[in-house]
Amino acid sequence: MSNYVNPLTQMALAPTTTQQQSSSNGKGGTWFEAMARAWGEALDKQAATIQQESDALSNQGTDTPAAVTELTAQSLKMGFLSNSSHSAISSVGEALSTMARKQ
């Protein structure tokens, strides 16, 4: 029996087996995990922006139409980012699954 590994199979397994070197922040892992972590960090950043806008409205009394509109826009951006992250992670996962089946 040959040790030949189908390139498609090798590529499909890469997100779960290829480990990246730990950087200065100590976060290693696969590129799939890195992608998920990057989406999480983007969502955290947007959530912090929404929190700041919300605090300004409630604590500082700056409930002007412009401030309310800005908060609404930031909230809609959060929804967009959330949907995009889910779609990206799901699409990559499905593509990897499909590649793994096509040996």
Q: What is the mean pLDDT of residues 24-53?
A: 86
- The pTM of the full predicted model, rounded to 2 decimals, is 0.70
Q: Read out DSSP for the chain?
A: ------HHHHHHHHHHH-PBPP-TT---B-HHHHHHHHHHHHHHHHHHHHHHHHHHHHHS----HHHHHHHHHHHHHHHHHHHHHHHHHHHHHHHHHHHHH--
Is the pLDDT confidence value at 76 over 70? Answer: yes
Residue 43 has, within 13 A of its CA and on its CB side, a CA count of: 14
Q: What is the mean pLDDT of residues 3-15?
A: 59
Q: What separation in angstroms does the CA of 55 have from each of 21, 32, 63, 68?
A: 39, 35, 11, 12
The amino acid sitting at 102 is K
Is the pLDDT confidence value at 95 over 60? Answer: yes
